[in-house]
Amino acid sequence: MRFETIRVEDAVGAILAHGIQHGEARFKKGRVLTAADTAALAAAGVSEVTVAQLDADDVPEDEAAALLAEALAGDGVRVASAFTGRANLYATVPGVFTVKAEAIDAINAVDEAITVATLPAFDEVMARAMLATIKIIPYAVKRASLNATLALARALGPVMEVSPYRPLRVGLVSTSLPQTKASIHAKNRATLEARLAAARAPVVADEIVPHEAGAVGDAVRRALAAKAELVLIYSASAIADRRDVVPDGIVRAGGEVLRFGMPVDPGNLLLLARKGEVPVVGLPGCARSPKMNGFDWVLQRLLAGLPVSEGDVGRMGVGGLLKEIPSRPQPRDKAAPAVKSAARIAAVVLAAGQSRRMGAPKQLAVIGGMPMLRRTVEQVRASGVDEIVVVTGHEAEAVGTALKGLPVTLVRNPDYALGLSTSLKAGLAALDEDVDGALIVLGDMPGVGAGDIDRMLAAFDPAEGRGIVVPVHAGKRGNPVLWAAAYFPEMARVSGDTGAKHLLAEFAEAVCEVELGDGVLTDIDTPEQLKAFTDARA
């Protein structure tokens, strides 16, 4: 890859190395310059630009990031479309994240231009949580370097996976002393059930017995007879030794003590045992608290079907200091920073128009044996958006019938005749409060595919200044447009029949343009346009 300053007329196909704002011409760095771009720059008086030129053995940043991300992703992992050299990986299910540190270290050592960052191994994750990001630092990377990383990923893989939680049947045994309060057991069970909730693991046996080894052994046998796949024991008195009441009771039930004590604080007094293939855990006193402790680390792995050996417990010391200390004043009862997750995006499909130029509801015009609106919505459904709201108005019943069976929310706009802005506001008002952004889709643009939408979703990142994502083709902006939720109040104040287009200029610094195919410019307003579209795809 070569960086050089060249005449603007010679820059078609080159990558703009530095952003340019000259008069009305505004181009961000990293843009692949088109003939229309260079003409606009020349018209604005720009004679030279600094660009990056790729060599024959260079792989463009997005292509490289996408290939490596796919090679690293295992079960339970989704790869988002690459954008600006970055491809993010997300969990598809709740569970425990596993990653081979040696593979990540080896890949990061190949070439400083290729970077992989992940969550710590064995982190608990919810669905949609970000697990890792692959970033290609420059605009391209040498093919030999990329091939070396891909070979490592394949040889050492699967490198990253999410082991999903399973609804294990849990047996609960609690011991009691004369001074044990009756309310303690109910509180302990409630705390435990909160921990089991993510896995939807049921408690199938629950027994309170005297704090005696024989009683513990009998209770363990009864829990196993109830088909428990995991047995947990609350001890009325902290376990002090391998020969104490709880481990003695487990042995009397035919079990085996694997390890007593773990290098995690709080959680030091955890007891790991088993009866046959069923794990049996003597809980440390801190397990009565909802705060994070060593028991959580063991429980999460067991619920995800990951084996936990005495050696696994022994290796939990690094990072195992969880207790608040003066030098780290971060109480666990404060909310922990949320794990970054995939943005929750809703699609608002505008389908309320009167179709005056078409002479009939264009939403219902048939393309490829399917109403145009349904075709559009099906493409949106196939993308990564999380919910779809369709705004109807003119011929609302017929439009609703065309979408029958699809998991969409229909919102009727009684003021549709007053212009596009009324439908936009109706659609935004119907969105859930927790959405991070809205993709505003015109129902008469059947050329926009799911891949186009996913490319836009990958570009969306308000924290990095990409809060409004606009598709472009041949230098022209098109639709749909993806807006961060921060702009909803401004969008709700628009009027007339132009939508929120004027806000693109008002918030130009947040606009990210994504080059896509000509479908983002193609809307169907007349019978002639419909025929041209269908003929072109015949």
Statement: the pTM of the whole predicted model exceeds 0.75: yes
Average model confidence (pLDDT) across the chain: 91
State both tokens at 83.
Answer: 């954008």
Q: How far apart are CA 289 and CA 124, in angstroms?
A: 18
Q: How far apart are CA 280 and CA 37, in angstroms?
A: 67
**Is residue 331 very low, low, confident or very high in pLDDT (cuts 50, 70, 90)?**
very low
Domain boundaries, the chain: 2-53, 58-164, 170-314, 345-536
Report whether 162 contacts 97 (CB < 8 A).
yes
Q: What mean pLDDT is predicted for residues 393-413?
A: 93
Above 80 in pLDDT, residue 308?
Answer: yes
> What are the pLDDT digits (tens) for 157-197?
899 999 999 999 999 999 999 988 888 999 999 999 999 99
Write down the CATH number for the domain with range 58-164: 3.90.1170.30
Report whether 468 contacts 510 (CB < 8 A).
yes
Q: What mean pLDDT is predicted for residues 118-144?
A: 95
Write down the CATH number for the domain with range 2-53: 3.90.105.10
Above 60 in pLDDT, residue 332?
Answer: no
Above 60 in pLDDT, residue 325?
Answer: no
Q: Residue 319 region, left (φ>0) first, then alpha (ψ -120 to 50), else beta?
A: left
Residues 6 or more apart whose Cβ sits within 8 Å of residue 56: none
The answer regarding whether domain 345-536 maps to CATH 3.40.50.1980 reads: no
ω before 480 within 30° of 0 (cis)?
yes
Residues 6 or more apart whose Cβ sits within 8 Å of residue 450: 379, 380, 381, 382, 383
Report whether 492 contacts 425 (CB < 8 A).
yes
Report whether 365 contacts 371 (CB < 8 A).
yes
pLDDT of residue 424: 95
- Residue, of 18 and 94, whose pLDDT is higher: 94
Provide the sign of the torsion angle of the four alpha carbons 122, 127, 128, 129, taken in this order: negative
Domains 58-164 and 170-314 share a fold: no
pLDDT of residue 357: 61
The answer regarding whether domain 170-314 maps to CATH 1.20.1630.10 reads: no
> What are the pLDDT digits (tens) for 201-221?
999 999 999 999 999 999 999
Report whether 98 contacts 114 (CB < 8 A).
no
In whole angstroms, what separates CA 238 from the centre of its chain? 41
Above 50 in pLDDT, residue 333?
Answer: no
